[in-house]
Structure 1
Amino acid sequence: MIRRVKREIRVIGFDDGTFPHKKRGEKVILVGIVMKGGSDVLGAVSRWITIDGLDVTEAIIDSILSSRFRGDLRVILLKGITYAGFNVVDVNRVFRETGLPLIVVVRKRPDFEAIENALRKHFEDWEKRMELIKAGGKIYELIPGKVYYQAIGIDAETAAKIIRATSRNSLIPEALRIAHIVASAVMRGESSKE
């Protein structure tokens, strides 16, 4: 439990690399950046995940539990709940198995109807994926029209404080911004715009 949010709170933020020319079943990189607050990068972890697979949850859990940073981490930050297309994070399982609360940060409010339609069209197991997406719980608005978040294993007010404390050069936490830069550079040879 986080009683007080310190500026130097240890977080890990995950994002995947872009994959414009890859197909379902191929691999993309998932990068986790470990930071002290929004200023100091302490390290990084990475795993390969499957486009439209169901292996991102295991990749996140494994990267945290096998990391030398494990004991210092207080919060997991996710840039959305889906990675590598519709490879959906089971946020409740990640919380249970790591013991760390999660904050899912997105720039646009999810359109669940459009997501469900896409899942129905492309996946036989669409119901399972939709259930995992909805398991993130209530969506809170941090900055109207610009930043939204979900809080798993942590209250919404504390989650908002953590987002603010770890954001420095953009509207989202630095760990997520840097994870995006690194992951996209690995996949494309150059980072893409966040």
Structure 2
Amino acid sequence: MIRKVKPQIRVVGFDDGTFSFSSKLKGEKTILVGVIMKGSSEVVGVLSRWITVDGLDATDAMIEAVLSSRFKDLRVILLKGITYAGFNVVDLERLHGETGLPVIVVVRKRPNLEAMEAAIRKHFPDAEERIALLRKAPRIEELVPGRLYFQAVGVRKDTAAEVIRTTTRTGLTPEPLRLAHMMASAVMTGESRRE
């Protein structure tokens, strides 16, 4: 339980690397990077794992990365969306339950869940399992009208909003997610990409 959001709150933000359409067909992997920071000011560590493009292993990889890391003072997990490596859907409740940490999903565009479900039904024999994960995720909340949205598990909405503000230095994206995005894209393409 987070009683007060301190400026130096320790968080980990996860993002994935790029991948090609052919890697979807071959079941290849992409990098998952977790950047650990004190608030928005100091990077204290980096975690990495490999996850399967369009697989179902993102949740396991995040749980394992957090639980096996030397960083035992983490307070929050930040995610850049609920799907990684294509449609590798994260089970937010399980991630929260097994790590004991609140999970906050931050996105710049409101997801079109109907379109996501249609795409999943079209391409995956295990569509219902993936769709169930999407549907059991909490309601999408608007933080900056038309520009920033979030979902929160294991933490109150107002506290989640404060964590997002505290971990954001410039722009709208929390710094751990911005840096994880840059690192993951650099691993996969040889050069970081802008947020």
TM-score when scaled to structure 1? 0.97
Shift of 1:30: 0.1
- Say whether residues 1:8 and 2:8 are aligned partners: yes
The residue number in structure 2 matching 1:41 is 43
Q: Please list every run of 5 or more consecutive structure 2 residues that lacks an aligned counterpart in the other structure.
A: none
SS in 2 for 1:48: strand
2:69 maps to which of 64, 67, 70: 67
User: Relative to structure 1, is the Cα distance of residues 129 and 44 closer, same or farther in structure 2, using a 3 angstrom cutoff?
Assistant: same
CA deviation map 1:112-147 (0-9, x unaligned): 110011001101111110111122211000001111
Give the number of equivalent residue pairs. 193
- Say whether residues 1:120 and 2:135 are aligned partners: no
CA deviation map 1:122-177 (0-9, x unaligned): 01111110111122211000001111000001010000000000000220110000
Q: Distance in 2 between matches of 1:172 and 1:8?
A: 17
Paired AA for residue 68 in structure 1: R
Paired AA for residue 160 in structure 1: A
Paired AA for residue 93 in structure 1: R
Q: Distance in 2 between matches of 1:125 and 1:82?
A: 15
The residue number in structure 1 matching 2:19 is 19
Q: Distance in 2 between matches of 1:187 and 1:37?
A: 27
The residue number in structure 1 matching 2:151 is 150
User: Relative to structure 1, is the Cα distance of residues 108 and 95 closer, same or farther in structure 2, using a 3 angstrom cutoff?
Assistant: same
Q: Distance in 2 between matches of 1:190 and 1:104?
A: 25
User: Relative to structure 1, is the Cα distance of residues 62 and 137 closer, same or farther in structure 2, using a 3 angstrom cutoff?
Assistant: same
The residue number in structure 2 matching 1:50 is 52
The residue number in structure 2 matching 1:187 is 188
Shift of 1:21: 5.2
- Say whether residues 1:30 and 2:32 are aligned partners: yes
TM-score when scaled to structure 2? 0.97
Shift of 1:41: 0.3
Counterparts of 1:155-170 in structure 2 under 5 Å? 155-170=156-171
Alpha-carbon RMSD: 0.8
Q: Report % sequence identity.
A: 63
SS in 1 for 2:171: coil
Q: Distance in 1 between matches of 2:28 and 2:157?
A: 36
Q: Which runs of 4+ in 1 moved over 6 A?
A: none
Q: Distance in 2 between matches of 1:99 and 1:9?
A: 16
The residue number in structure 2 matching 1:103 is 104
Paired AA for residue 19 in structure 1: F
